Amino acid sequence: MTSRVATVAFQGIEAVAVDVQAQFLSGQVQFHIVGLPDKAVAESRERVRAALYAIGLGLPGKRLAINLSPADLPKEGSHFDLPIALAVLSALGVIPPDFLNRYVVLGELALDGSLMAVAGALPAAIAANGREMGLICPKASGAEAAWAGEDIDILAPDNLIQLINHVKGTQVLSAPKPALAPEAGVLPDLRDIKGQESGKRALEVAAAGGHHLLM
């Protein structure tokens, strides 16, 4: 059986629909991702495998094929981790397909199963709302996604376990509230550097002109 999870690929600020498909096949034990993935997407194999192991789930001794459709659209970024993981969980029977059919998913996985913030939560939420779907994203991205509107169903768990418990009804995830990103703390200042006048001058000129700089 092929499991499917909806996600997006970004072209500028436009969120283009992508269908993540997962299927276990007979044959040599392998984990393949196809559909023009970049290096970050290809590396999601190890993050997904480790995250599932961290929550007590191992992949069966079969060949796992992941297809990112449409196949001719380049896929870039670590936000494909979570949709790939949920497609695998659906193929394993842990999460029912009818639940995932209602959501667009994006998020980066840590090796312990926790979810880390990704760029593009707001465009993804707007795209999901346009398709009359909800959004599943990391908790750290939930406040950004919530700016898409109060009527969109957003789930923003901290980790995979929270999401699985929500699906099974043993935990309820509250909807995130719109919020601004926290301000950065005190940053280093060039005036704290003693000497290195030519280097500091080069940094100032590059910053003033918006130029790239290779030190």
Q: How far apart are CA 154 and CA 143, in angstroms?
A: 10
Of 51-65, 66-80, 175-189, the one with minimum mean pLDDT is: 175-189
> Could you tell me the pLDDT band of residue 134, with boundaries at 50, 70 and 90?
very high
pLDDT > 80? residue 215: no
Tokens found for residue 20? 């993540």
Are the CB atoms for 83 and 66 separated by under 8 Å?
no
**What distance in Å separates the CA atoms of residue 62 and residue 31, rounded to the nearest whole number?**
9
CA distance 190 to 42: 39
Bridge partners (DSSP) listed for residue 20: 5, 68
pLDDT (tens digit per residue) in 74-127: 999 999 999 999 999 999 999 999 999 999 999 999 999 999 999 999 999 999
Nearest CA to 131 out of 6, 5, 3, 4 is that of 6
Indicate the helix (H) or strand (E) that contains 98.
Answer: helix 97-100
pLDDT at 176: 95
Give the confidence band of 200 by pLDDT, cuts at 50, 70, 90.
confident
* Terminal CA-CA length for the chain: 53
What secondary structure letter does DSSP report for 204?
H
Closest CA to 32 of 68, 72, 75: 68
Q: How far apart are CA 82 and CA 8, in angstroms?
A: 12
Domains, the chain, with CATH or none:
3-181 (3.30.230.10)
How far is the C-alpha of 148 from the C-alpha of 141, rounded, in Å?
12
- For tokens 């992941």, the residue is 66
